[in-house]
Amino acid sequence: MKETFDVAIVGAGPAGVSAACILADAGIKTIVFERGEYPGAKNMSGGVVYGHDLAQIIPDYVDHKCPIERNIIESRIWYLSKEGGYSFGYRDSIFAAERKHNAFTVLRAKFDRWYAEQARKKGALIVPSTVAVDLLRNDKGGVVGVVTGREDGEVRAKVTLLADGINSPLAARAGFRVEPKPEEVALAVKEVIELPSEVIEQRFGVSNGDGVTIEILGEITGGMDGIATVYTNRNSLSLAIGANLADFATSKLRPYELLEAFKQHPLVVPLISGGQPREYIAHWLPEGGYDTIPALYGDGYLIAGDSAMMFNAMHREGSNLAMASGRMAAEAIIEAIGRGDCSRKGLANYGKRLAESYVLKDLKKYRRFGRFRYRHKEIFNEIPALASLAGREMLTVNGVSKKQKQKMIVKEVRRKMSILRIARLLWHSWRAVR
Amino acid sequence: MHIVCCVKQVPDTTQVKIDPETNTLIRSGVESICNPYDLVAAEVAVQLTERYGGKVTVISMGPPQAESALRECLALGAKEAILLSDRAFAGADTLATSYTLSQTISRIAAVNPVHLVICGKQAIDGDTAQTGPGIATRLGYSQFTYVSEVVSVDVENNTIKVKREIEGGSELIEGTLPALLTVELGLGIPRYASLPELARALRQDIEVWGAGEIGALPERLGLRGSPTSVHRIFAPPVREGGRVFDSTENTERAIEDFVEVFFEKESPLLEHLLSQDKG
Ligand SMILES: Cc1cc2nc3c(=O)[nH]c(=O)nc-3n(C[C@H](O)[C@H](O)[C@H](O)COP(=O)(O)OP(=O)(O)OC[C@H]3O[C@@H](n4cnc5c(N)ncnc54)[C@H](O)[C@@H]3O)c2cc1C
C-alpha cells in the first residue's frame, strides 16, 4: 500500500501491543498485524499476568476495565507421584490488599482483545485477520517493512518489531533466529473447565474474586521434563500440562493422554469434579532460556517477547517479559526515530535496556535451569516416587518403629539411585538456580 | 446509484448450544460475527456499484460492539456506515426492528435518494426472514426475496430485473425502483479485502444514531414496540436413526427382515411403483 508508517509490528500479543501503546502515546505512527480474527483469538487462553509490568504501560488498567479473572493471593506447589504427593503453599493477605494484582489470572482471548483495544484508542492501527508473510528488505539486507498476505499488502516502515510469538517462521526465514531445537521448546495443552464461581471459591478457600495458582511437578508428566498448572479463573479453572518436545518425541506419549491422566490424579479430581470442559488448545513455549536468545535487533528491526525466546521457565513468567521487552523496544524505537537513525547502531539502546533490566538478568540467572531439568529425569521419575514412599510410610501407623521405616526408605533410595547420582543432582540443581 | 445494506451482528450459531435443563441459549464464550447472509448482501451491493457506479451505505441496529460487523462491510468496499444504538432499541422483535430500520432508511433517503436496499435472506440466529419484507412494506418499495441473481439495474428508467428461487426452479422478474432485495448465500462470495481497504475500514468514523436522529415514535421501538414474546426455546428432539439390517453375520436373514419390513411399511409406495411399471 502507498501509505507508510513509522513502525510496523507483527503480532498483537502482550509484546506487540505493549510496544504499540508506548509508541502511539508518543505520537509515532504505528500499524500492528495480527493473524487471528481478533487479538487473542489464536492465543493460549488462561494464564497469569503481572500487574507491575502492565501498570508501566497502562497505569490505570483497573479503571479501564481490564478483564481480570482472579487476583492471586496464594501460590501452591505440588510434587506428585502417581498415587499422591506433597503440597506446599504460600498465602499472604498483602496480596489481597497493598499488593493486590501483583499477579492475576486472565483469559487470553478476552485480555489480548482488551489490551489491543487500549492501543487502538491511543491511536495505533490494529489490523486483524492479516498474516505477515515476509519482511521487506533493502539491498543492504536492512528491514524496511512487512509483506502481508493481502492484496496490495506491502507496508513500508522505518522500523519493524517482530512480536510474533514462539512460532515465528518470519524471524527464522529472515535468518534472524535459528529454528529452535526440539529440546528448546515445550509443547503444552490446556483445558478450560467451567465451574460455578462459588464452587471454585469453596474448593480453594478464597472469596471476593481472589484466587490460587498451583504449579505441579512429578510423575504426572510421564517421566518427561515438564510441568502442569491449575489456575483459578472467575468461573473456570485453567488446567495445563506440557513437556519438552524432545521428550515427547522419545516417549511417544501424546499430549492429550497426559492431560487426561492428569485430570484423573487423586489430587486433581476433587478440584475439577462436576466441571464442564469448555475449550482445549495447544501451544508451544520457549524453554531454551538465555542461551537461545537471538540477536535482538539489527538494521531496521527488533525482536521481543516469545519470538526472542524470553521465557523464565523457573518462575513461569512469559507475559511480563513480553510486556517489558515490548515496552523497551518501543522506547528504543522512539529514541532512534528522534535521532533519525534506525540502523542497528541507532536501535542498540534496546539491548542495553534489556541487559540492565530484570528481563535478561533473570534469564541469565536461570540459564542452566532448562538443561538441568532435561538431564535429570529422576526429578520426574524416581524422586517423586521415593518421596511419596517416604510420606506414605512415615504417616502409616502400623506398629513398625520409625527407625525401622527410615532404614527401609533409605535402602529403597539407595537401591534406586547411587550416591554419586544424588550428589550430581544436588550440585547441578544448585548451579542451575544460584 | 445509492444502495443501503442492513446488517446484523449475530452470535456464531455454530458455537451456541442449548442448555438441555433450562432450555435457554448458552451464549457465554460465544463470539459475535456479522450475519453471513448480510456479508453477501454487502458484497453484492458493492459489486453493483462497481458495475453501475454509486455508493453503498451500511446500517446496523445493535449494541456498540456491532460496530465490528459494520467495519467488515466497510472493508468489502461500502463507503459509509451508521450504527443504530440506543437503549430504546433494545429487545426489538422483527416488527420493531423493521420499523427502526425503515425510519433510518427514509432519513438517509431524504438527504441522498436510495435506489436499492439489500438485506440478507435471514439472520442465522433467528431464521425468521421477516425483517427485509417488513422494511419494504413500510417504505412502499417493491420487494424481491430470495434473490439468486441481479440481472440488471436501470436507474434511468427506474427498473430492476432479478432472478429468484422458487420451489422447483427459478423465476425472472422485473420491477420498479426503489426496491428491496433479500439475497441467498450463493449470490456472492465476500471478498478478502485488500490491505488499504481494510485499513480504511478500520479507521473510518462510524456515525451513531439513536431514536432522536431517526425521528421514531418511542412506543414502536424496542421491547415496547414488540408484540412477539418468546414462549420457549428448545432443541429439536434428536432424530433416531432408521432400523439397521446387519448382514455381516447372516446375510439371508437380514434381507428377509428387510423385505418383510419394507413390504409392511412401504406398501403404498410399492404399489405405486408397481403400477407405474405396468403403464
Ligand atoms: C500453557 C502455557 C501457559 C502459560 N502460562 C503463563 C503464565 O501463567 N504466565 C505468564 O506470564 N506466561 C505464561 N505463558 C507464556 C506466555 O503466554 C507468553 O510468554 C506470552 O504470551 C508471550 O507474548 P508474546 O506477545 O511474545 O507472544 P504471543 O502471546 O504468542 O503473541 C504473538 C501474536 O502474534 C501473532 N502472530 C504470529 N505470527 C504472525 C504473523 N506471521 N502475522 C501476524 N500475526 C502473527 C499471533 O497470532 C499472536 O497473537 C504460558 C504459555 C503457555 C503455552
pLDDT digits (tens, 9 = 90+) for A400-430: 999 999 999 999 998 888 888 888 888 888 8
Residue B279 CA to residue B274 CA, distance in Å, equals: 9
The number of beta carbons lying within 10 Å of the beta carbon of residue A22 is 24
Buried/exposed A248-282: b ≥16 CB within 10 Å, e otherwise: beeeebebeebbebbbebebbeebbeebeeebebe
Note the pLDDT tens digit of each residue in A36-67.
989 988 776 569 999 999 999 999 999 999 99
The residue contributing the CA closest to ligand 1 atom 1 is: A188
In a domain, B233, yes or no: no
User: Is there a contact between A125 and B203 if contact means CB atoms under 8 Å apart?
Assistant: yes
CATH of the domain at B198: 3.40.50.620
pLDDT of residue B24: 62
A391 burial (CB, 10 Å; 0-12 / 13-18 / 19+) is middle
Find out whether the beta carbon of A12 lies less than 6 Å from any atom of ligand 1.
yes
One domain, residues B204 and B119: yes
Q: How confident is the model at residue B16 (pLDDT cuts 50, 70, 90)?
A: low
A377 burial (CB, 10 Å; 0-12 / 13-18 / 19+) is middle
Contacts of B192 in chain A (CB under 8 A): 150-151
A116, pLDDT greater than 60: yes
The number of beta carbons lying within 10 Å of the beta carbon of residue A61 is 18
Note the pLDDT tens digit of each residue in B168-225.
888 999 999 999 999 988 888 999 999 999 999 999 999 999 999 988 888 888 888 8
Q: Does A155 touch chain B (CB under 8 A)?
A: yes
Structural domain total, chain B: 2
In a domain, B50, yes or no: yes
One domain, residues B263 and B205: no
One domain, residues B113 and B249: no
Cβ pairs bridging A and B (under 8 Å)? 37
pLDDT of residue B15: 64
In this prediction, what percent of chain A has a pLDDT beyond 70?
A: 99
pLDDT of residue A374: 85
Q: Which atom of ligand 1 is nearest to the CA of A148?
A: 42
In a domain, B228, yes or no: no
Contacts of A151 in chain B (CB under 8 A): 192-195
Lowest mean pLDDT among A200-204, A269-273, B62-66: B62-66
Q: Does A285 touch chain B (CB under 8 A)?
A: no
Lowest mean pLDDT among A6-10, A202-206, B194-198, B255-259: B255-259
B93, pLDDT greater than 90: no
In a domain, B59, yes or no: yes
One domain, residues B148 and B271: no
Q: Does A63 touch chain B (CB under 8 A)?
A: no
The beta-carbon neighbor of B194 closest among A151, A278, A279 is A151
pLDDT of residue B25: 63
In a domain, B234, yes or no: no
Of B172, B190, B220, the residue that ends a domain is: B220
H or E stretch including B266? none
What domains lie within chain A, and their CATH numbers? 3-62+105-178+291-356 (3.50.50.60), 183-286 (3.30.9.90), 370-433 (no CATH)
In angstroms and rounded to an integer, the radius of gyration of the C-alpha atoms of chain B is 24
Note the pLDDT tens digit of each residue in A349-387.
999 999 999 999 999 998 888 888 888 888 898 899 999
Q: Which of A264, A249, A230 is closest to A184 using CA atoms?
A: A249
Q: Does A98 touch chain B (CB under 8 A)?
A: no
A137, pLDDT greater than 80: yes
Query: What are phi and psi for residue A2, nearest 5 degrees?
Result: -70, -40
In a domain, B192, yes or no: yes
Residue B246 CA to residue A299 CA, distance in Å, equals: 71
Note the pLDDT tens digit of each residue in B29-61.
667 888 899 999 999 999 999 999 999 999 999
Find out whether the beta carbon of A327 lies less than 6 Å from any atom of ligand 1.
no
Domain containing residue B85: 2-220
One domain, residues B172 and B60: yes
Average pLDDT, chain B: 87
One domain, residues B163 and B199: yes
B279, pLDDT greater than 60: no
One domain, residues B35 and B146: yes
One domain, residues B163 and B279: no
If you measure from the C-alpha of residue B181 to the centroid of ligand 1, how many angstroms do you get, rounded to a whole number? 45
pLDDT of residue B266: 72
The beta-carbon neighbor of A150 closest among B29, B192, B202 is B192
Contacts of B31 in chain A (CB under 8 A): 37
A380 burial (CB, 10 Å; 0-12 / 13-18 / 19+) is buried
In a domain, B122, yes or no: yes
Lowest mean pLDDT among A115-124, A263-272, B139-148: B139-148
In a domain, B227, yes or no: no
One domain, residues B72 and B193: yes
Find out whether the beta carbon of A322 lies less than 6 Å from any atom of ligand 1.
yes
A302, pLDDT greater than 90: yes
CB B61 within 8 A of CB B97: yes
One domain, residues B208 and B253: no
Q: Does A10 touch chain B (CB under 8 A)?
A: no
A217, pLDDT greater than 80: yes
Q: Which atom of ligand 1 is nearest to the CA of A242?
A: 1
Residue A50 CA to residue A100 CA, distance in Å, equals: 10
pLDDT of residue B261: 82
Kindly provide the ipTM of the predicted complex, given to two decimals.
0.87
The residue contributing the CA closest to ligand 1 atom 9 is: A48
User: Is there a contact between B196 and A3 if contact means CB atoms under 8 Å apart?
Assistant: yes
Find out whether the beta carbon of A164 lies less than 6 Å from any atom of ligand 1.
yes
One domain, residues B195 and B269: no
E-state strands within B167-269 = 169-176, 179-183, 207-209
One domain, residues B38 and B139: yes
Q: Which pTM does this prediction carry?
A: 0.87
Find out whether the beta carbon of A46 lies less than 6 Å from any atom of ligand 1.
no
The beta-carbon neighbor of B195 closest among A126, A148, A279 is A148
